[in-house]
């Protein structure tokens, strides 16, 4: 339509991008323990860092080649035909186009930095080798997901990152709570994965069973296997391909597109169903309502893992998937509306939970959920480049925030409760500065990276003409703007609680903070991450008392490996947005121009509500007010811990305040609700099924057994009476005959002679008679 | 009246009948042996008679053999009888019935 078919340019080294981390994972997984014992930590992290760095270099090379090539070209590397099944050819092939190129760069760059950071954060870890093996395995899976040429390969990566997420969340698996968190993440992700795979199956089925040429006798809209279509076998169906670019190409033909768009299943459009199922997969992986519950618990993992997997890369896989499949999602206005609505609701919902969390990582986790919601708003309204833009800037500033929190946690001797921090700006200056920059970026201060991407999302949502509800874009904008206000507030709240005022760790270590504990019935839950203490008793309510003596030492700045990474990421959080400057300012938007060819094919289906530049300027101003509003509110309430208002509010006797706080503090009781509905529900169901099993199924089996026994008894009786009877009858007859006949054996020799003579006479007589 | 084959056969039959009668009726084992001799000689007489009126000399030679064998047989039989007498102090053949069922 808009241009010729995509040109594939062979780039034979592309397979190395995922392969190099895999080599590292296998090497460290197999040899790591020995190497670590013999040669120390450097033998582990040198290959573990250099191999992903090699991936980054190759990605960059491919990316630059791509930049030189004309529009529509993709770097392609076909390895082998993986599954030739009937007409389906699943290839093991990697493809780097402009979209996956950006993703691959973000993943390899941030990933490599976090590997470097981990050398500092995990330096006291006995299972150092295992950690790096998992991290490298994750890089492999993520890059397979990003660079995979078709749904199947993407699914391999999709499952692989889920596995690595599970392995890394429950990295300290001796702690029961962490093992449970990993399990929760895995199970919740499985629910999403089921949706994803069903979506792919349904799409493939739809393409396979839709005839390419209209069956002459059938009315339009009714598609069955017409016998006539079998004559032209290659044209019989729309497609049997599962490669993204081939499906996209087919859907660019308006005739074929109409044919599949008009298909219904159970009264729902086929495309809508496909997109919604795929989106279920995205909600699982990217932690959206209703499947977001695993992400906050995933903070049980080591902090670099939270930064890499649960903030920068893996959780954005859902956003990437929707953007990758823009040619499907733009076909279904229902799916687009659902995606945007779920995104906006998640953004707001998670932002409100973030307001009252005390665990610094939990704040960041809910912030991640919220920011992912922003990205889904962007893909939902068809602003794909904006979503990827925000994905990239978010990867920078959120990774920086997480790594900063890791630095803080390490400085505070594995303390995660912000009430026991404070005053760290003087003690950990680099961490504080980078954390502040990233907070400013995520809050959307002007000229920070998050400003450009978030503001663009808000504007695109406002201006969207694709929502089913008229004026839906404005509602989306209002919801996300409130979420943005909340974001700004809780991020600076976390900054001021952590870095301003006086250090409260020494006092807090003795557990005097009675009022705080009283308001925190789940206080034990925050004692979850004292990483170096392997095998600490999981139920120990005084887990931190073992660290009590640390309270005397003040936190110190983290080693250079960590602060260096923080500086790089903080710098990118500051300037990373300049690749996507708003067109409104009359400046070139390199990022949009770069991704434009990818989304050009569907651009005509993404409509604008027609608001002018005036509205855009207005919204931008409003965004700035929102960002600073949240900032100043947090500054007034939490700077230096002097303001009495938060404490007074917490102590407020008003039932309204108390109930609201308790509800939000306990995350709206969603975990409890899921626990009752799904966990208890499935337990009750399983118990019911067990009763059904023991009573009905076992009863039926026993009945069958009894009947069998009855038949056996019957057959035995027949055997005993008839068959044995016959055999015994023969024996009895012979025996009886013998008893009778033996009488003639008298022992009298003369009697024998008599018999002999009479017999001979009888024979003579017989012979005589016969002759006669 | 000429003496032909039938006359011989009749004599032979009479001998056989007398022999059998002796065997069956007498209790004395020696007497039974004598009956056996009668039966044997009835047979030999037949052989000789058929040889004389029918074929060559084969039957007569066979009869000679039979006489010699009869002598040997009588020796063996008498030895058995002697053993039986020694075992049960009697020559009554009907008492030697240890092999009955």
Which DSSP symbol is given to B57? S
How close does chain B come to A741, measured CA to CA in Å?
10
Cα radius of gyration (chain A): 37
Q: Which residues of A touch B32 (CB under 8 A)?
A: 749-750
* Residue A23 confidence (pLDDT): 94
The span from the CA of A606 to the CA of A339, in Å, is 14
The span from the CA of A633 to the CA of A156, in Å, is 46
Distances (CA, A) of A544 to A420, A505, A547, A621, A650: 12, 11, 5, 46, 25
* Residue A501 confidence (pLDDT): 83
Q: Which residues pair with B92 in a beta bridge?
A: B28
The span from the CA of A750 to the CA of A752, in Å, is 5
* CB nearest to A753's CB, from B24, B96, B100: B24
| Residues above pLDDT 90, as percent of chain A | 42
| Closest CA relative to residue A503, chosen from A640, A628, A392 | A640
Contact (CB<8Å) A748/B23: no
Distances (CA, A) of B29 to A357, A756, A767, B94, B100: 132, 18, 33, 9, 18
Q: Which residue on chain B is closest to A757 by alpha carbon?
A: B20
The span from the CA of A285 to the CA of A155, in Å, is 12
The pLDDT confidence band at residue A212, using thresholds 50, 70 and 90, is low
* Residue A484 confidence (pLDDT): 93
* Residue A137 confidence (pLDDT): 94
Q: What is the pLDDT of residues A59-117, one digit of tens each?
A: 999 999 998 888 878 889 999 888 888 778 888 999 999 999 999 999 999 999 999 99
* CB nearest to A747's CB, from B23, B24, B99: B99
Helix (H) or strand (E) holding A76: strand A73-85
How close does chain A come to B53, measured CA to CA in Å?
23
CB-CB neighbours of B67 under 10 Å: 11
The span from the CA of A507 to the CA of B96, in Å, is 128
* Residue A214 confidence (pLDDT): 57
The span from the CA of A260 to the CA of A140, in Å, is 35
- Which class is domain B5-89? mainly alpha
Burial profile A301-328: b = 16 or more Cβ within 10 angstroms, e = fewer: bbbbbbbbbbbbbbbbbbbbbbbbbbbb
- pLDDT at residue A315 is higher than 70: yes
What is the pLDDT averaged over residues A385-394? Answer: 92
The span from the CA of A765 to the CA of A151, in Å, is 106
- Mutate which of A741, A753, A760 to test chain B, going by most B C-beta atoms within 10 A? A753
The span from the CA of A167 to the CA of A314, in Å, is 14
- Contacts of A62 by beta carbon, 8 Å cutoff, 6+ apart: A11, A13, A14, A17, A75, A96, A101, A104
What is the pLDDT averaged over residues A233-261? Answer: 77
Contact (CB<8Å) A746/B100: yes
* Residue A654 confidence (pLDDT): 81
Q: Which residue on chain A is closest to B32 by alpha carbon?
A: A750
What is the pLDDT averaged over residues A440-456? Answer: 90
Which DSSP symbol is given to A299? G
Q: Which residue on chain A is closest to B28 by alpha carbon?
A: A750
| Closest CA relative to residue A457, chosen from A552, A390, A398 | A390
Residue matched to tokens 């699982």: A284
* CB nearest to B24's CB, from A743, A746, A750: A750
Q: Which residues of A touch B28 (CB under 8 A)?
A: none
Region of residue A22 (phi > 0: left; psi between -120 and 50: alpha; otherwise: beta): alpha
Least confident of A144-158, A240-254, A424-438: A240-254
Domain limits of chain A? 330-511+555-664, 670-758
Q: Which residues of A touch B19 (CB under 8 A)?
A: none
What is the pLDDT averaged over residues A721-740? Answer: 92
Domain limits of chain B? 5-89
Q: Which residue on chain B is closest to A758 by alpha carbon?
A: B20
Q: What is the pTM of this model?
A: 0.73
Q: Which residue on chain B is closest to A751 by alpha carbon?
A: B24
Q: What is the pLDDT of residues A517-550, one digit of tens each?
A: 334 344 333 333 443 444 433 433 443 433 444 4
The pLDDT confidence band at residue A551, using thresholds 50, 70 and 90, is very low
The span from the CA of A167 to the CA of A771, in Å, is 109
The pLDDT confidence band at residue A17, using thresholds 50, 70 and 90, is very high
Residue matched to tokens 């019957």: A714
Q: Which residues of A touch B97 (CB under 8 A)?
A: 746-749
What is chain B's length? 101
Q: Under a CB-based contact definition with an 8 Å cutoff, are residues A441 and A451 in contact?
A: yes
In this predicted model, which residue has the larger pLDDT, A545 or B71? B71
End-to-end CA distance of chain A: 120
Q: What is the pLDDT of residues A667-708, one digit of tens each?
A: 888 888 888 888 888 889 999 999 999 899 899 999 999 999
Q: Under a CB-based contact definition with an 8 Å cutoff, are residues A423 and A550 in contact?
A: no
């Amino acid at each position: 339509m808009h241009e010729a078919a995509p040109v594939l340019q062979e780039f034979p080294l592309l397979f190395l991008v995922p392969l190099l981390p895999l080599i590292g994972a296998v090497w460290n997984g197999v040899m790591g323990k020995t190497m670590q014992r013999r040669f120390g930590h450097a033998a582990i992290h040198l290959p573990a860092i250099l191999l992903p760095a090699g991936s980054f270099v190759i990605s960059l090379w491919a990316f630059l080649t791509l930049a030189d090539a004309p529009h529509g070209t993709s770097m392609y590397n076909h390895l082998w035909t993986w599954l030739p099944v009937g007409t389906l050819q699943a290839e093991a092939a990697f493809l780097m186009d402009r979209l996956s190129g950006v993703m691959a760069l973000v993943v390899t760059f941030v990933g490599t930095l976090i590997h470097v950071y981990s050398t500092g954060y995990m330096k006291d870890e006995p299972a150092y080798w295992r950690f790096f093996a998992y991290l490298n395995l994750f890089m492999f899976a993520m890059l397979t997901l990003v660079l995979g040429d078709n749904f199947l390969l993407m699914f391999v990566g999709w499952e692989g990152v889920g596995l690595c997420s599970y392995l890394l969340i429950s990295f300290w698996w001796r702690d029961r709570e962490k093992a449970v968190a990993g399990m929760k993440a895995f199970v919740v992700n499985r629910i999403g994965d089921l949706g994803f795979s069903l979506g792919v199956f349904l799409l493939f089925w739809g393409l396979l069973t839709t005839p390419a040429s209209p069956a002459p006798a059938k009315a339009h809209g009714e598609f069955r296997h017409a016998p006539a279509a079998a004559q032209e076998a290659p044209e019989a169906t729309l497609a049997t391909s599962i490669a993204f670019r081939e499906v996209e190409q087919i859907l660019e033909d308006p005739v074929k597109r109409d044919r599949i768009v008009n298909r219904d299943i159970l009264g729902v459009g086929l495309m809508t169903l496909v997109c919604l199922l795929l989106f279920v997969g995205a909600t699982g992986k990217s932690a959206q309502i209703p499947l977001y519950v695993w992400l906050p618990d995933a903070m049980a993992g080591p902090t670099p893992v939270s930064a890499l997997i649960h903030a920068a890369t893996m959780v954005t896989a859902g956003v990437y998937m929707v953007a990758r499949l823009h040619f499907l999602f733009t076909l279904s206005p229902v799916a687009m509306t659902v995606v945007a609505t779920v995104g906006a609701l998640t953004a707001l919902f998670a932002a409100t939970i973030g307001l009252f969390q005390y665990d610094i990582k939990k704040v960041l986790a809910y912030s991640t959920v919220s920011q992912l919601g922003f990205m889904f708003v962007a893909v939902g309204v068809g602003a794909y480049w904006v979503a990827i833009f925000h994905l990239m800037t978010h990867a920078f500033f959120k990774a920086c925030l997480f790594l900063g929190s890791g630095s803080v946690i390490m400085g505070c001797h594995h303390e995660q409760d912000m009430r026991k921090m404070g005053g760290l700006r003087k003690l950990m200056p680099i961490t504080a500065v980078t954390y502040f920059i990233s907070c400013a970026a995520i809050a959307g201060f002007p000229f920070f990276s998050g400003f450009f991407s978030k503001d663009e999302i808000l504007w695109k949502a406002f201006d969207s003409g694709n929502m089913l509800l008229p004026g839906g874009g404005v509602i989306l904008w209002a919801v996300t703007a409130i979420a943005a206000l909340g974001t700004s507030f809780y991020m600076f709240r976390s900054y001021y609680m952590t870095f301003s005022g006086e250090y409260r760790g020494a006092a807090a270590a003795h557990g005097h903070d009675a009022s705080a504990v009283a308001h925190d019935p789940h206080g034990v839950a925050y004692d979850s991450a004292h990483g170096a203490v392997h095998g600490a008793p999981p139920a120990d309510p005084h887990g931190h008392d073992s660290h009590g003596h640390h309270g005397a030492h003040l936190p110190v700045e983290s080693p250079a490996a960590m602060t260096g990474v923080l500086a790089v990421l903080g710098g990118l959080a500051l300037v990373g947005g300049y690749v996507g400057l708003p067109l409104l300012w009359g400046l070139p938007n390199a990022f949009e121009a770069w991704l434009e060819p990818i989304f050009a094919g569907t651009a005509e289906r993404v409509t604008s509500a027609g608001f002018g530049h005036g509205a855009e300027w207005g919204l931008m101003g409003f965004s700035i007010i929102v960002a600073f509003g949240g900032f100043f509110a947090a500054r007034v309430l939490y700077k230096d811990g002097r303001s009495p208002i938060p404490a007074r509010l917490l102590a407020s006797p008003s039932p309204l305040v108390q109930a609201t706080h308790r509800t939000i503090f306990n995350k709206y009781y969603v975990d409890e609700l899921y626990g009752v509905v799904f966990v208890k529900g499935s337990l009750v169901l399983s118990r019911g099924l067990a009763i059904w099993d023991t009573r009905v199924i076992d009863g039926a089996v026993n009945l069958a057994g009894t009947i069998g026994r009855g038949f056996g008894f019957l057959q035995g009786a027949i055997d005993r009476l008839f068959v044995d009877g016959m055999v015994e009858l023969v024996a009895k007859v012979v025996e009886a005959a013998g008893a009778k006949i033996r009488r003639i054996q008298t022992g009298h020799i003369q009697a024998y002679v008599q018999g002999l003579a009479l017999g001979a006479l009888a024979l003579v007589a017989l012979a005589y008679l016969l002759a006669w | 009246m000429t003496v032909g084959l039938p006359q011989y056969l009749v004599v032979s039959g009479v001998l056989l009948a007398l022999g059998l009668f002796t065997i069956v009726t007498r209790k004395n084992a020696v007497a039974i042996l004598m009956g056996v001799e009668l039966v044997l000689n009835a047979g030999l007489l037949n052989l000789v008679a058929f040889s004389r009126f029918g074929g060559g000399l084969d039957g007569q030679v066979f009869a000679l053999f039979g006489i010699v064998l009869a002598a040997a047989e009588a020796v063996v039989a008498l030895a058995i009888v002697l053993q039986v007498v020694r075992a049960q102090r009697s020559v009554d053949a009907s008492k030697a019935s240890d092999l009955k069922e």
